[in-house]
Amino acid sequence: MKILCVLYDDPKDGMPGSYALNELPKIDTYPDGMTLPNPKAIDFNPGELLGCVSGELGLRKFLEDRGHTLVVTSDKDGENSQADKELVDADIVISQPFWPYYLTREKMEKAPKLKMAITAGIGSDHVDLQAAMDHKIDVVEVTYCNSISVSEHIVMMILSLVRDYHNQHAIAKSGGWNIADAVKRSYDVEGMHIGTVAAGRIGLAALRRMQPFDVHLHYHDRHRLPESVEQELNLSFHETVESMVAVCDVVTINCPLHPETENLFDETMINKMKKGAYIVNTARGKICNKEAIAAALESGQLSGYAGDVWFPQPAPNDHIWRTMPHHGMTPHTSGTSLTAQARYAAGTREILECFFDNQAIRDEYLIVQNGELAGVGAHSYSKGSATSGSEEAAEYKK
Ligand code: NDP
Protein backbone atom coordinates (compact mmCIF):
# COMPACT_ATOMS: atom_id res chain seq x y z
CA MET A 1 0.00 0.00 0.00
CA LYS A 2 1.01 3.60 -0.43
CA ILE A 3 0.94 5.82 2.62
CA LEU A 4 1.14 9.57 2.13
CA CYS A 5 2.25 11.45 5.22
CA VAL A 6 2.02 15.25 5.28
CA LEU A 7 4.13 16.75 8.05
CA TYR A 8 5.48 20.16 8.97
CA ASP A 9 8.90 21.36 7.86
CA ASP A 10 12.13 20.41 9.63
CA PRO A 11 13.79 23.05 11.85
CA LYS A 12 15.44 25.74 9.71
CA ASP A 13 18.91 24.65 10.90
CA GLY A 14 18.24 20.94 10.45
CA MET A 15 17.29 18.25 12.93
CA PRO A 16 18.58 18.84 16.49
CA GLY A 17 21.82 17.06 17.40
CA SER A 18 20.66 16.84 21.00
CA TYR A 19 17.59 17.64 23.05
CA ALA A 20 16.96 19.66 26.22
CA LEU A 21 15.80 16.60 28.15
CA ASN A 22 17.22 13.11 28.02
CA GLU A 23 13.96 11.38 28.81
CA LEU A 24 10.23 11.96 29.13
CA PRO A 25 8.26 11.45 32.34
CA LYS A 26 6.46 8.12 32.46
CA ILE A 27 2.66 8.35 32.25
CA ASP A 28 0.69 5.14 32.83
CA THR A 29 -2.81 6.03 31.69
CA TYR A 30 -4.88 9.04 30.67
CA PRO A 31 -6.87 10.70 33.48
CA ASP A 32 -10.08 8.75 32.74
CA GLY A 33 -8.23 5.43 32.75
CA MET A 34 -8.01 5.08 28.95
CA THR A 35 -4.76 3.35 28.03
CA LEU A 36 -2.01 5.16 26.15
CA PRO A 37 -1.26 4.09 22.57
CA ASN A 38 0.03 0.53 22.61
CA PRO A 39 1.54 -0.48 19.26
CA LYS A 40 3.42 -3.78 19.16
CA ALA A 41 6.71 -1.85 18.85
CA ILE A 42 8.10 1.60 18.11
CA ASP A 43 11.18 2.57 16.09
CA PHE A 44 11.85 6.00 17.62
CA ASN A 45 13.18 7.48 20.82
CA PRO A 46 10.38 9.24 22.72
CA GLY A 47 11.36 12.90 23.10
CA GLU A 48 12.78 13.30 19.59
CA LEU A 49 11.18 15.45 16.90
CA LEU A 50 8.80 13.14 15.07
CA GLY A 51 6.17 15.53 13.68
CA CYS A 52 8.38 17.11 11.00
CA VAL A 53 9.34 15.67 7.63
CA SER A 54 12.60 14.01 8.76
CA GLY A 55 10.90 12.68 11.90
CA GLU A 56 8.47 10.72 9.67
CA LEU A 57 6.42 9.91 12.80
CA GLY A 58 8.97 7.13 13.26
CA LEU A 59 7.06 5.04 10.71
CA ARG A 60 9.46 4.34 7.83
CA LYS A 61 11.08 1.12 9.05
CA PHE A 62 7.77 -0.34 10.19
CA LEU A 63 6.04 0.40 6.88
CA GLU A 64 8.89 -0.63 4.61
CA ASP A 65 9.51 -3.87 6.54
CA ARG A 66 5.90 -4.74 5.73
CA GLY A 67 6.38 -3.94 2.05
CA HIS A 68 4.51 -0.64 2.00
CA THR A 69 5.58 2.64 0.42
CA LEU A 70 5.87 5.75 2.58
CA VAL A 71 5.95 9.20 1.01
CA VAL A 72 6.52 12.15 3.34
CA THR A 73 6.18 15.77 2.30
CA SER A 74 5.39 19.20 3.74
CA ASP A 75 4.40 20.60 0.33
CA LYS A 76 0.62 20.59 0.71
CA ASP A 77 -0.94 23.84 -0.54
CA GLY A 78 -1.54 25.52 -3.88
CA GLU A 79 -1.76 24.16 -7.39
CA ASN A 80 0.35 21.06 -8.07
CA SER A 81 1.52 20.52 -4.51
CA GLN A 82 3.59 17.40 -3.92
CA ALA A 83 0.88 16.05 -1.61
CA ASP A 84 -1.81 16.46 -4.29
CA LYS A 85 0.36 14.64 -6.82
CA GLU A 86 1.02 11.75 -4.45
CA LEU A 87 -2.57 11.52 -3.24
CA VAL A 88 -3.96 10.21 -6.54
CA ASP A 89 -2.77 6.65 -5.90
CA ALA A 90 -2.47 6.71 -2.11
CA ASP A 91 -4.29 4.19 0.07
CA ILE A 92 -3.85 6.04 3.35
CA VAL A 93 -3.15 9.68 4.11
CA ILE A 94 -1.74 10.85 7.43
CA SER A 95 -1.81 14.51 8.38
CA GLN A 96 -1.54 16.61 11.52
CA PRO A 97 -3.74 19.54 12.59
CA PHE A 98 -0.62 21.70 13.08
CA TRP A 99 0.13 21.54 9.35
CA PRO A 100 -3.16 20.27 8.01
CA TYR A 101 -3.47 18.71 4.62
CA TYR A 102 -6.96 19.98 3.77
CA LEU A 103 -8.64 16.92 2.37
CA THR A 104 -11.52 18.47 0.46
CA ARG A 105 -14.20 16.63 -1.49
CA GLU A 106 -12.45 17.56 -4.73
CA LYS A 107 -9.19 15.98 -3.57
CA MET A 108 -10.95 12.83 -2.37
CA GLU A 109 -12.56 12.48 -5.78
CA LYS A 110 -9.11 12.40 -7.36
CA ALA A 111 -7.96 9.61 -5.01
CA PRO A 112 -9.98 6.50 -5.88
CA LYS A 113 -7.82 4.16 -3.79
CA LEU A 114 -8.03 6.20 -0.61
CA LYS A 115 -9.35 4.12 2.27
CA MET A 116 -8.39 5.99 5.39
CA ALA A 117 -7.35 9.44 6.62
CA ILE A 118 -5.44 9.37 9.89
CA THR A 119 -5.12 12.49 12.00
CA ALA A 120 -1.86 12.21 13.94
CA GLY A 121 -3.33 14.30 16.73
CA ILE A 122 -6.88 15.33 17.58
CA GLY A 123 -9.38 17.27 15.47
CA SER A 124 -10.23 16.03 11.98
CA ASP A 125 -11.96 19.15 10.68
CA HIS A 126 -9.26 19.50 7.98
CA VAL A 127 -10.96 16.52 6.36
CA ASP A 128 -14.31 17.18 4.70
CA LEU A 129 -16.12 14.69 6.91
CA GLN A 130 -19.30 14.73 4.85
CA ALA A 131 -17.30 13.88 1.71
CA ALA A 132 -15.45 11.15 3.63
CA MET A 133 -18.81 9.66 4.62
CA ASP A 134 -20.05 9.86 1.03
CA HIS A 135 -16.87 8.22 -0.32
CA LYS A 136 -16.62 5.62 2.46
CA ILE A 137 -13.20 6.87 3.53
CA ASP A 138 -12.64 6.13 7.20
CA VAL A 139 -11.34 8.97 9.38
CA VAL A 140 -9.53 8.27 12.63
CA GLU A 141 -7.60 10.34 15.14
CA VAL A 142 -5.44 9.63 18.21
CA THR A 143 -7.94 10.63 20.86
CA TYR A 144 -6.43 11.94 24.13
CA CYS A 145 -2.85 11.92 22.77
CA ASN A 146 -2.36 15.66 23.34
CA SER A 147 -5.43 16.75 25.32
CA ILE A 148 -3.41 17.28 28.50
CA SER A 149 -0.66 19.07 26.52
CA VAL A 150 -3.30 21.54 25.28
CA SER A 151 -4.81 22.03 28.73
CA GLU A 152 -1.36 23.06 30.02
CA HIS A 153 -1.07 25.56 27.17
CA ILE A 154 -4.50 26.98 28.09
CA VAL A 155 -3.44 27.59 31.70
CA MET A 156 -0.24 29.24 30.47
CA MET A 157 -2.24 31.48 28.13
CA ILE A 158 -4.89 32.46 30.69
CA LEU A 159 -2.19 33.51 33.14
CA SER A 160 -0.06 35.24 30.55
CA LEU A 161 -3.01 37.24 29.14
CA VAL A 162 -4.50 38.33 32.47
CA ARG A 163 -1.11 39.17 33.99
CA ASP A 164 0.05 40.72 30.66
CA TYR A 165 3.20 38.60 30.51
CA HIS A 166 4.00 39.21 26.84
CA ASN A 167 4.25 42.95 27.31
CA GLN A 168 6.41 42.57 30.43
CA HIS A 169 8.72 40.08 28.75
CA ALA A 170 9.13 42.40 25.75
CA ILE A 171 10.12 45.24 28.11
CA ALA A 172 12.71 43.06 29.86
CA LYS A 173 14.10 41.77 26.56
CA SER A 174 14.48 45.23 25.10
CA GLY A 175 16.46 46.55 28.09
CA GLY A 176 13.59 48.51 29.66
CA TRP A 177 12.48 48.93 33.29
CA ASN A 178 9.31 51.01 33.21
CA ILE A 179 7.26 49.17 35.84
CA ALA A 180 4.17 51.31 35.28
CA ASP A 181 4.12 50.41 31.59
CA ALA A 182 4.66 46.79 32.52
CA VAL A 183 1.69 46.60 34.92
CA LYS A 184 -0.87 48.99 33.53
CA ARG A 185 -2.85 46.05 32.08
CA SER A 186 -1.84 43.41 34.63
CA TYR A 187 -4.34 41.68 36.97
CA ASP A 188 -4.57 38.65 39.27
CA VAL A 189 -6.59 35.65 38.12
CA GLU A 190 -7.74 34.88 41.68
CA GLY A 191 -11.49 35.43 42.09
CA MET A 192 -12.20 35.62 38.36
CA HIS A 193 -14.96 33.67 36.60
CA ILE A 194 -13.48 31.26 34.09
CA GLY A 195 -15.65 29.30 31.65
CA THR A 196 -15.08 26.66 29.02
CA VAL A 197 -17.13 26.07 25.90
CA ALA A 198 -17.08 22.24 26.00
CA ALA A 199 -15.86 20.18 28.91
CA GLY A 200 -14.48 17.20 27.05
CA ARG A 201 -10.98 15.86 27.60
CA ILE A 202 -9.27 19.24 27.17
CA GLY A 203 -11.99 21.45 28.64
CA LEU A 204 -12.30 19.41 31.82
CA ALA A 205 -8.51 19.13 32.22
CA ALA A 206 -8.25 22.92 31.87
CA LEU A 207 -10.94 23.41 34.54
CA ARG A 208 -9.13 21.02 36.90
CA ARG A 209 -5.86 22.85 36.36
CA MET A 210 -7.44 26.25 37.01
CA GLN A 211 -9.23 25.21 40.21
CA PRO A 212 -6.22 25.78 42.54
CA PHE A 213 -6.16 29.44 41.49
CA ASP A 214 -9.31 30.04 43.61
CA VAL A 215 -11.48 31.06 40.69
CA HIS A 216 -15.17 30.43 39.91
CA LEU A 217 -15.52 27.75 37.25
CA HIS A 218 -18.23 27.54 34.56
CA TYR A 219 -18.92 25.30 31.59
CA HIS A 220 -21.26 24.79 28.68
CA ASP A 221 -21.42 21.48 26.82
CA ARG A 222 -23.94 19.47 24.84
CA HIS A 223 -23.83 16.78 27.52
CA ARG A 224 -23.63 17.48 31.23
CA LEU A 225 -20.73 16.19 33.33
CA PRO A 226 -21.44 13.72 36.17
CA GLU A 227 -22.80 15.43 39.28
CA SER A 228 -19.79 14.23 41.28
CA VAL A 229 -17.45 16.18 38.96
CA GLU A 230 -19.62 19.28 39.08
CA GLN A 231 -19.52 19.15 42.88
CA GLU A 232 -15.82 18.36 43.13
CA LEU A 233 -14.89 21.42 41.04
CA ASN A 234 -17.86 23.54 42.16
CA LEU A 235 -18.86 24.02 38.51
CA SER A 236 -21.71 26.19 37.24
CA PHE A 237 -23.34 24.56 34.21
CA HIS A 238 -24.86 26.79 31.51
CA GLU A 239 -27.48 25.59 29.06
CA THR A 240 -26.24 28.08 26.45
CA VAL A 241 -22.93 29.63 25.45
CA GLU A 242 -24.59 33.05 25.74
CA SER A 243 -25.50 32.61 29.39
CA MET A 244 -21.95 31.54 30.22
CA VAL A 245 -20.06 34.25 28.36
CA ALA A 246 -22.22 36.96 30.00
CA VAL A 247 -20.69 36.20 33.42
CA CYS A 248 -17.12 35.14 32.60
CA ASP A 249 -13.91 37.15 32.76
CA VAL A 250 -12.09 34.47 30.77
CA VAL A 251 -13.62 32.13 28.20
CA THR A 252 -11.68 29.17 26.87
CA ILE A 253 -12.94 27.36 23.78
CA ASN A 254 -12.52 23.59 23.69
CA CYS A 255 -15.11 22.13 21.32
CA PRO A 256 -14.29 20.56 17.95
CA LEU A 257 -14.85 22.59 14.79
CA HIS A 258 -17.90 21.33 12.92
CA PRO A 259 -20.82 23.10 11.26
CA GLU A 260 -22.48 23.76 14.66
CA THR A 261 -19.46 25.56 16.10
CA GLU A 262 -18.06 27.32 13.01
CA ASN A 263 -18.13 31.12 13.53
CA LEU A 264 -19.68 30.65 16.99
CA PHE A 265 -17.76 33.65 18.34
CA ASP A 266 -18.93 36.27 15.88
CA GLU A 267 -19.62 39.94 16.62
CA THR A 268 -23.00 39.12 18.18
CA MET A 269 -21.58 36.55 20.60
CA ILE A 270 -18.58 38.72 21.49
CA ASN A 271 -20.93 41.59 22.30
CA LYS A 272 -22.76 39.31 24.74
CA MET A 273 -19.51 38.79 26.68
CA LYS A 274 -18.62 40.75 29.79
CA LYS A 275 -16.82 43.92 28.70
CA GLY A 276 -13.05 43.50 28.83
CA ALA A 277 -13.11 39.69 28.94
CA TYR A 278 -10.33 37.47 27.59
CA ILE A 279 -10.62 34.57 25.13
CA VAL A 280 -8.25 31.62 24.91
CA ASN A 281 -8.97 29.47 21.87
CA THR A 282 -6.84 26.38 21.36
CA ALA A 283 -9.69 24.50 19.65
CA ARG A 284 -9.86 25.75 16.05
CA GLY A 285 -9.41 29.17 14.46
CA LYS A 286 -12.64 29.04 12.49
CA ILE A 287 -14.74 28.88 15.66
CA CYS A 288 -13.92 32.59 16.06
CA ASN A 289 -14.62 35.22 13.45
CA LYS A 290 -11.20 36.70 12.79
CA GLU A 291 -12.34 40.23 11.96
CA ALA A 292 -14.75 40.34 14.93
CA ILE A 293 -11.97 39.29 17.34
CA ALA A 294 -9.57 41.95 16.03
CA ALA A 295 -12.28 44.65 16.17
CA ALA A 296 -13.20 43.70 19.77
CA LEU A 297 -9.55 43.97 20.84
CA GLU A 298 -9.37 47.41 19.21
CA SER A 299 -12.55 48.62 20.93
CA GLY A 300 -11.76 47.14 24.36
CA GLN A 301 -14.75 44.77 24.32
CA LEU A 302 -12.04 42.11 24.64
CA SER A 303 -8.91 42.72 26.74
CA GLY A 304 -6.91 39.89 25.24
CA TYR A 305 -7.01 36.95 22.87
CA ALA A 306 -4.65 34.01 22.81
CA GLY A 307 -4.51 30.60 21.29
CA ASP A 308 -2.57 28.57 18.79
CA VAL A 309 -5.17 27.80 16.17
CA TRP A 310 -5.72 29.82 13.00
CA PHE A 311 -7.54 29.41 9.74
CA PRO A 312 -6.15 28.47 7.42
CA GLN A 313 -2.84 26.96 8.49
CA PRO A 314 -0.19 28.05 7.93
CA ALA A 315 -1.78 31.47 8.48
CA PRO A 316 -1.11 33.85 5.58
CA ASN A 317 1.57 36.41 6.53
CA ASP A 318 -1.01 39.19 6.57
CA HIS A 319 -3.50 37.31 8.77
CA ILE A 320 -5.06 39.97 10.98
CA TRP A 321 -4.35 37.98 14.17
CA ARG A 322 -0.61 38.40 13.65
CA THR A 323 -0.86 42.16 14.22
CA MET A 324 -4.00 42.83 16.30
CA PRO A 325 -3.43 44.39 19.75
CA HIS A 326 -3.20 42.43 23.03
CA HIS A 327 -2.85 39.00 21.51
CA GLY A 328 -0.76 36.14 22.77
CA MET A 329 -0.93 33.86 19.74
CA THR A 330 1.55 31.10 19.01
CA PRO A 331 1.70 29.04 15.85
CA HIS A 332 -0.21 25.79 16.28
CA THR A 333 2.03 24.19 18.90
CA SER A 334 0.08 23.27 22.02
CA GLY A 335 -0.59 19.69 20.97
CA THR A 336 2.80 18.99 19.43
CA SER A 337 5.20 19.27 22.34
CA LEU A 338 7.90 16.61 22.10
CA THR A 339 5.98 14.77 24.82
CA ALA A 340 2.79 14.74 22.76
CA GLN A 341 4.61 13.72 19.58
CA ALA A 342 5.76 10.46 21.16
CA ARG A 343 2.14 9.62 21.99
CA TYR A 344 0.59 10.49 18.66
CA ALA A 345 3.38 8.77 16.70
CA ALA A 346 2.76 5.62 18.73
CA GLY A 347 -1.01 6.04 18.28
CA THR A 348 -0.64 6.37 14.52
CA ARG A 349 1.39 3.20 14.47
CA GLU A 350 -1.23 1.41 16.59
CA ILE A 351 -3.93 2.44 14.10
CA LEU A 352 -1.85 1.26 11.12
CA GLU A 353 -1.08 -2.08 12.79
CA CYS A 354 -4.79 -2.66 13.40
CA PHE A 355 -5.67 -1.66 9.84
CA PHE A 356 -3.05 -3.92 8.19
CA ASP A 357 -3.82 -6.86 10.50
CA ASN A 358 -7.59 -6.53 10.10
CA GLN A 359 -8.13 -5.82 13.75
CA ALA A 360 -10.65 -3.37 15.14
CA ILE A 361 -9.38 0.17 15.64
CA ARG A 362 -10.32 1.44 19.10
CA ASP A 363 -13.77 2.98 19.19
CA GLU A 364 -12.25 6.08 20.84
CA TYR A 365 -10.19 6.73 17.69
CA LEU A 366 -13.04 6.55 15.18
CA ILE A 367 -14.53 9.67 13.61
CA VAL A 368 -15.99 8.25 10.39
CA GLN A 369 -16.36 4.55 9.60
CA ASN A 370 -18.31 2.80 6.86
CA GLY A 371 -19.85 6.03 5.64
CA GLU A 372 -21.16 7.23 9.03
CA LEU A 373 -19.94 9.27 11.96
CA ALA A 374 -18.68 6.66 14.43
CA GLY A 375 -17.07 6.34 17.87
CA VAL A 376 -15.87 9.68 19.24
CA GLY A 377 -16.95 11.29 15.97
CA ALA A 378 -20.59 10.34 16.51
CA HIS A 379 -20.46 11.85 20.00
CA SER A 380 -18.60 15.08 19.29
CA TYR A 381 -19.11 16.09 15.65
CA SER A 382 -22.11 16.95 13.48
CA LYS A 383 -22.57 16.03 9.81
CA GLY A 384 -21.36 18.43 7.14
CA SER A 385 -18.05 20.06 6.33
CA ALA A 386 -15.95 22.87 7.80
CA THR A 387 -13.04 22.88 5.33
CA SER A 388 -14.12 25.60 2.91
CA GLY A 389 -11.66 28.46 2.38
CA SER A 390 -8.59 26.30 3.07
CA GLU A 391 -6.98 27.20 -0.28
CA GLU A 392 -5.88 30.49 1.34
CA ALA A 393 -3.15 28.51 3.15
CA ALA A 394 -1.12 28.75 -0.08
CA GLU A 395 -0.68 32.47 0.65
CA TYR A 396 1.80 31.80 3.46
CA LYS A 397 5.32 32.57 2.23
CA LYS A 398 8.20 31.02 4.07
P1 NDP B 1 -13.25 15.70 23.28
O2 NDP B 1 -13.95 14.92 22.23
O3 NDP B 1 -12.85 15.02 24.53
O4 NDP B 1 -14.14 16.95 23.70
C5 NDP B 1 -14.88 17.69 22.83
C6 NDP B 1 -16.08 18.22 23.60
O7 NDP B 1 -16.73 19.21 22.79
C8 NDP B 1 -17.11 17.17 23.92
O9 NDP B 1 -17.41 17.24 25.30
C10 NDP B 1 -18.28 17.59 23.06
O11 NDP B 1 -19.51 17.38 23.65
C12 NDP B 1 -18.10 19.09 23.00
N13 NDP B 1 -18.87 19.72 21.94
C14 NDP B 1 -18.99 19.36 20.65
N15 NDP B 1 -19.80 20.21 20.01
C16 NDP B 1 -20.19 21.12 20.90
C17 NDP B 1 -21.05 22.25 20.83
N18 NDP B 1 -21.65 22.58 19.69
N19 NDP B 1 -21.24 22.97 21.95
C20 NDP B 1 -20.63 22.61 23.10
N21 NDP B 1 -19.82 21.53 23.23
C22 NDP B 1 -19.61 20.82 22.14
O23 NDP B 1 -11.99 16.35 22.57
P24 NDP B 1 -10.73 17.10 23.19
O25 NDP B 1 -11.17 17.83 24.41
O26 NDP B 1 -9.58 16.18 23.31
O27 NDP B 1 -10.41 18.11 22.01
C28 NDP B 1 -11.34 19.14 21.66
C29 NDP B 1 -10.87 19.88 20.44
O30 NDP B 1 -9.69 20.60 20.73
C31 NDP B 1 -10.49 19.00 19.24
O32 NDP B 1 -11.61 18.62 18.48
C33 NDP B 1 -9.56 19.91 18.47
O34 NDP B 1 -10.31 20.74 17.60
C35 NDP B 1 -8.93 20.75 19.56
N36 NDP B 1 -7.54 20.34 19.80
C37 NDP B 1 -6.54 21.26 19.61
C38 NDP B 1 -5.23 20.89 19.76
C39 NDP B 1 -4.13 21.89 19.61
O40 NDP B 1 -2.98 21.49 19.42
N41 NDP B 1 -4.40 23.18 19.69
C42 NDP B 1 -4.84 19.51 20.09
C43 NDP B 1 -5.96 18.66 20.39
C44 NDP B 1 -7.26 19.06 20.20
P45 NDP B 1 -20.23 16.00 23.76
O46 NDP B 1 -19.24 14.94 23.46
O47 NDP B 1 -20.68 16.06 25.19
O48 NDP B 1 -21.30 16.07 22.76
What pLDDT band is residue 385 in, cutting at 50, 70 and 90? Answer: confident
* Residue 333 φ/ψ, nearest 5 degrees: -125, -20
Cα 309 to ligand 1 centroid, rounded to whole Å: 13
* Contact 395 CB / ligand 1 (< 6 Å): no
**Which among 294, 280, 135 has a CA at the least distance from the CA of 197?**
280
Residues of the chain with CATH 3.40.50.720: 2-145+336-397, 147-322
Per-residue pLDDT of 106-151, as tens digits, reads 999 999 999 999 999 999 999 999 999 999 999 999 999 999 999 9
Let me know if 146 is a catalytic residue: yes
Please state the pTM of the whole predicted model.
0.96
CATH architecture of 147-322: 3-Layer(aba) Sandwich (3.40)
Question: Catalytic residue among 153, 201, 284, 319, which?
Answer: 284
Contacts of 361 (CB under 8 A, 6+ apart): 140, 351, 354, 355
| Closest CA to ligand 1's atom 7 | 255
Per-residue pLDDT of 310-367, as tens digits, reads 999 999 999 999 999 999 999 999 999 999 999 999 999 999 999 999 999 999 999 9
Let me know if 284 is a catalytic residue: yes
pLDDT > 70: percent of the chain: 100
* Residue 98 φ/ψ, nearest 5 degrees: -70, -30
Let me know if 313 is a catalytic residue: yes
* Contact 146 CB / ligand 1 (< 6 Å): yes
CATH architecture of 2-145+336-397: 3-Layer(aba) Sandwich (3.40)
* Contact 260 CB / ligand 1 (< 6 Å): yes
> Which ligand 1 atom is the nearest neighbour of the CA of 335?
40
Question: Catalytic residue among 168, 289, 313, 369, which?
Answer: 313
The residue type at 337: S
User: Collapsing DSSP states into helix, strand and coil, what is residue 61?
Assistant: helix
* Residue 302 φ/ψ, nearest 5 degrees: -110, 140
Per-residue pLDDT of 185-241, as tens digits, reads 999 999 999 999 999 999 999 999 999 999 999 999 999 999 999 999 999 999 999
Q: What angle do CA 7, 60, 54 make, to 5 degrees?
A: 40
As a dihedral over the C-alpha atoms of residue 201, residue 204, residue 209, residue 211, rounded to 10 degrees, the angle is -170
Length of the chain: 398
| Closest CA to ligand 1's atom 38 | 335
Let me know if 254 is a catalytic residue: no
